[in-house]
Amino acid sequence: MITEGADYELSCMGCGEPAPGGGSQTLDGLRLRWSVDTACASCGPIIACDRDDPPGDLRSRILAANGPSVLVLTEGSLSNARLMKVLREALGLSLAGAVATAGEVRAGRYVGTGPEIERLAEHIRCAGGQADRVRP
Ligand SMILES: [Zn+2]
């Protein structure tokens, strides 16, 4: 299980006032989860969590705090057709989106949070390819 998080000030989920808190993203199996918490002086601790895409600026905060990860696909380990199929299934991309993303993956330019990249690497391994999550 891979988790990346960030601490920052956000709006209290109870009253909307600025409050210290933070959030994290976790890869659980092949599913992304996120959680956000605030510690407001008036309302006390509040935690929210859900699956899939994180809310608001949590993703950019996590990227800023942890740095981006890069997906490295081992050359020749997966045909382009299979890679595009994986990308469409794992990321819900259109055909055009999968073509563009496959180009980024093969060029070593596909970046994301650690949990996001590990999830896609795991999908590629499930399809018989070899992929790693690397911190540049
Ligand atoms: Zn509050």
Tell me what pLDDT residue 56 has. 81
**Domain enclosing residue 36, as ranges:** 2-66
What's the gap in Å between 115 CA and the centre of ligand 1?
30
- Model confidence pLDDT, tens digit, residues 57-72: 999 999 999 999 999 9
Task: Tell whether 58 and 105 lie within a shared domain.
Answer: no
Domain end: 13, 32, 66, which one? Answer: 66
Number of domains in the chain: 2
Q: Ligand 1 centre and the CA of 21: distance in Å?
A: 11
Residues of the chain with pLDDT under 50: none
- The 3-class secondary structure across the chain, one letter per residue, is CEEEEEEEEEECCCCCCEEEEEEEEEEECCEEEEEEEEEECCCEEEEEEEECCCCCCHHHHHHHHHCCEEEEECCCCCCHHHHHHHHHHHHCCCHHHHHHHHHHHHCCCCEECHHHHHHHHHHHHHCCCCEEEECC
Cβ count near 128 (within 10 Å): 11
